[in-house]
Structure 1
Amino acid sequence: MTAETDTRQNLGFAAVLFVFAVVMIGTTLPTPIYPQYQAAFGFSGSTTTVLFAVYAAGVIAALIGVGQLSQIIGRKPMLLAGILLSFVSAILFSIGTAEGLLFAGRIFSGFSAGILTSTGTVAVLEQAPAARKAVAGALATAANIGGLGLGMFLAGLVSQLTPWPTRAPFVMHALLLVLAGLALLLVRETVKKQQDARFRLQRPGIPREARSVFGAASIGAVAGFAVCGLYSSVAPNFVGTVLGIHSALVVGVVTASLFAASAVAQIVLGKLAVVRAIVLGSILLFVGMILLAVALPLASLALLIVSSVVSGAGQGLLFSYGLRAIVGATPDDRRTEATSAYFVVAYLAISVPAILAGFAERLFGLAPTGIGFAAVMAVLCVIGFATRKRFAGAAD
């Protein structure tokens, strides 16, 4: 291999990671700005949870609808589609003159995230040079989950520093997407287009051999992603109403901490045995929920951030090792179906509990809702811990 070829492969690898991260940044940009939207449009806290659920529905629709399309038309066209859909979302949010535009923006954002979730990870693995094959999976995770956290932090920072708090973050993101489109030129196509291939929906399925492991892994995925949904949709109201802090940057830090900790835990603790990782993840998420239940009545920002970090680390371990166990227990020709089913479960978990929490907030108030939510998630962690033996023998 020549030095020129090696350089080209490294640039392509870096470019696809950049594209992945930039698209995922857009999916969480609205989170720190929800309080400003509530003030501008007069909608309730429950509306913000519906906005988040619309995004999750878009992700699921894309996973099922176009999950296998990149195998037919190529990775680069699908990555470009994700960039363009994310760009449309950024434009709709930057206009932001009506509530309907926000919902439309979230739908487009969900579609873009769904495309990148299914195509981006595979593209990263395929673009990785030989010297980086071993870390490609971890870097794909960092681009995905890290992008989610970075989106929240950047939105909070930009909205705090500019006089256009509900517009400037999305203008910034639109510019980043233009750069991502240019970066895509450096990415090589790894799929030979199949002229006679037939398009079909990506049907989620659970092979009989993997059902026991899938059920156990789904408990951790549901708990972890429900916590992600809570922090992404309801946390802004917690910070503003319960803690009395009206800063988009603070909201961004609180929510970004969870996703950053998730990404770091998956990378740093990526060589644990599966059972040990599931046990550690369950304990960390359980402790995180206890901290959340204590932070809310005490109105403690410090405890809320610690809860976010600890919960994020637990979520990262439960989700990544649950996925690893499912892949290890599933025959090669059924793995796409099984992983699709796992992601559908995860994104249902990220939206449905958040919606319920949003409506419970109107009936019981924010602090009681948060404490009740934390208690339910803690119970799920205990159940997940109790099923740890099902992971024995899973691929490590």
Structure 2
Amino acid sequence: MFAVAFAFFVVMPGTTLPTPLYPIYREAFGLSELTITVIFAIYAIGVMTVLVVAGGWSDLIGRRPMLFAGIAAAIVGTIILASAQGLWGLLIGRVVVGFSAGVFTGTATVTIVELAPERWRGHAPLLATASNMLGLGSGPLLAGILAEYAPYPLRLSYIVELGLLGLALLCIWAIPETRPREPGVRLHMQKPMIVPEVRPVFIPAAIACFAGFSVLGVFGAAAPALLHEVFGFSNHVAFGGIMFLLFFCSTMGQVLQSKIAPNYRFPLGCIVLALGAAMIGVAIQLESLTLLVAGAIVNGTGHGVVFRAGIQGLTEVTPPYCRAETMSAFFIIAYIAICIPIVGFGASIAPLGLALSGEVFSGLAALLAIVALVLLPREGGMSGEMGRSEEKRG
């Protein structure tokens, strides 16, 4: 279980490593801010391709082969990014890295739950999502530190990531298979599955998480530009640090949500998400770095609350035969939230300016979280389903 969690933690930074490097790429390759947002968002195409085409393959051929394939894709994508000489190298590398993230987001989450001993069974979803979020947050922090204080800023962080991926291979080699290959099975495209009994949990979880992931996406692509042009910061550690803060607080939100009564988790998470997004918008308007950091803390915490509750609820109510496919469907929604809003944000910069675009987007994200809050009770008992899941586990 912990070996898979470590591999999950190591693979995910590959998707966020470039965030503090975007200002360097922009100068080196003559890229516009819209192009930067496309470079960030395009990895989600790789993620969603894997989730749609191969989302259920680990149910057929086993978890270990898929995890090995994910690490292989991460290695290839990292090598392409490390050697990129222009826009196309960055785009191709990001898509390939997205393939690896697509494999791990569904398969690693399920594998951690299946490998968990009985005493850890209730905490396994937290371990999976925390590995995911902390991995995503560690990528830009690592790259920011190396870019600021070490040589070869566009190469060194990828070299370090390659070394960590070698350790991840050893971890997956050491684990047992939790779902052996079925005799005579032929691989085919399997659409993500949402069986009827899962829908009361899936629908509100997807709505709430969309609001949180859209903010993470915009920070992932535009944080360096915002910090430099609006707040006057040009330190790469600051660029990576604000992303790490968001993901760290998301992890803390996942921990704290277990202290909240099940009936209040999603409503409270939506309220916190809306508040955090509004604080970020006001911070941009006032050019207040302190308020921006506070908004990131609040927004990240709210994201963590709704994200963990969604994973936990889906794990509880989804039948084993379609668990990987259901998790793939859930993450497809999350990655749509990461890629589509950020491209729209990038396209709005030219007519509106960076600051106004940030303010408008923050307002829309807050509004979406409020809409999710209003819709949750109408979608048939998200809180009730979560409460029943907790009672069964208790």
TM-score between the two structures when normalised by the length of structure 2: 0.91
Residues 256 and 305 in structure 2, CA contact (< 8 A), matched pair in contact too: no
Question: Is 1:387 aligned to 2:378, yes or no?
Answer: no
Query: Secondary structure at the residue paired with 2:122?
Result: helix
| 1:270 alignment partner, one of 254, 258, 265 | 258
Shift, 1:270, TM fit: 2.6
Residues 125 and 308 in structure 2, CA contact (< 8 A), matched pair in contact too: no
Shift, 1:336, TM fit: 4.8
| 1:115 alignment partner, one of 103, 107, 110 | 103
Question: Is 1:340 aligned to 2:340, yes or no?
Answer: no
Identical columns (%): 38
Question: Is 1:15 aligned to 2:3, yes or no?
Answer: yes
Residues 318 and 326 in structure 2, CA contact (< 8 A), matched pair in contact too: yes
Tell me which residue corresponds to 1:24.
12
Shift, 1:184, TM fit: 2.5
Query: Secondary structure at the residue paired with 2:184?
Result: coil
**TM-align CA RMSD:** 2.0
Tell me which residue corresponds to 2:62.
74
Residues 202 and 340 in structure 1, CA contact (< 8 A), matched pair in contact too: no
Q: Distance in 1 between matches of 2:15 and 2:42?
A: 12
Query: Secondary structure at the residue paired with 2:78?
Result: helix
Structure 2 unaligned runs (5+)?
388-394
TM-superposition CA deviations, 1:166-202 (whole Å, max 9, x none):
1111111011111212233321222222221122323
Q: Distance in 2 between matches of 1:353 and 1:377?
A: 10
Q: Distance in 1 between matches of 2:315 and 2:179?
A: 22
Deviates more, 1:296-305 or 1:78-87: 296-305
**Cα distance change, pair 264–371 in 1 and its aligned pair in 2 (3 A):** same
Question: Is 1:218 aligned to 2:209, yes or no?
Answer: no
Residues 87 and 174 in structure 1, CA contact (< 8 A), matched pair in contact too: yes
Query: Secondary structure at the residue paired with 1:269?
Result: helix
**Cα distance change, pair 301–25 in 1 and its aligned pair in 2 (3 A):** same
| 2:177 alignment partner, one of 189, 211, 214 | 189
Q: Distance in 1 between matches of 2:339 and 2:323?
A: 25
What does 1:321-332 align with in structure 2 at a 5 Å threshold? 321-325=309-313
Q: Distance in 2 between matches of 1:190 and 1:329?
A: 19
Residues 210 and 326 in structure 1, CA contact (< 8 A), matched pair in contact too: yes
Q: Distance in 1 between matches of 2:207 and 2:109?
A: 23
Q: Distance in 1 between matches of 2:148 and 2:65?
A: 36
What does 1:95-244 align with in structure 2 at a 5 Å threshold? 95-208=83-196, 211=199, 213-244=201-232
Tell me which residue corresponds to 2:307.
319
**Cα distance change, pair 341–226 in 1 and its aligned pair in 2 (3 A):** same
TM-score between the two structures when normalised by the length of structure 1: 0.91
| 1:349 alignment partner, one of 330, 337, 341 | 337
Tell me which residue corresponds to 2:294.
306
Structure 1 unaligned runs (5+)?
1-12
Shift, 1:96, TM fit: 2.1
Q: What amino acid does structure 2 have at the position aligned with 1:134?
A: G
**Cα distance change, pair 247–346 in 1 and its aligned pair in 2 (3 A):** same
Residues 309 and 386 in structure 2, CA contact (< 8 A), matched pair in contact too: no
Q: Distance in 2 between matches of 1:334 and 1:84?
A: 25
| 2:365 alignment partner, one of 341, 354, 377 | 377
Tell me which residue corresponds to 2:391.
none
Question: Is 1:279 aligned to 2:267, yes or no?
Answer: yes
Tell me which residue corresponds to 1:362.
350
Q: What amino acid does structure 2 have at the position aligned with 1:164?
A: Y
Shift, 1:354, TM fit: 0.4
Residues 96 and 167 in structure 1, CA contact (< 8 A), matched pair in contact too: no
Q: Distance in 2 between matches of 1:243 and 1:130?
A: 49
What does 1:249-264 align with in structure 2 at a 5 Å threshold? 249-264=237-252
**Cα distance change, pair 14–393 in 1 and its aligned pair in 2 (3 A):** closer
Shift, 1:208, TM fit: 4.6
**Cα distance change, pair 132–336 in 1 and its aligned pair in 2 (3 A):** closer
**Cα distance change, pair 387–325 in 1 and its aligned pair in 2 (3 A):** farther
TM-superposition CA deviations, 1:276-319 (whole Å, max 9, x none):
11121111111111211111122222222211111111112222
Q: What amino acid does structure 1 have at the position aligned with 2:279?
A: L
Residues 224 and 239 in structure 2, CA contact (< 8 A), matched pair in contact too: yes
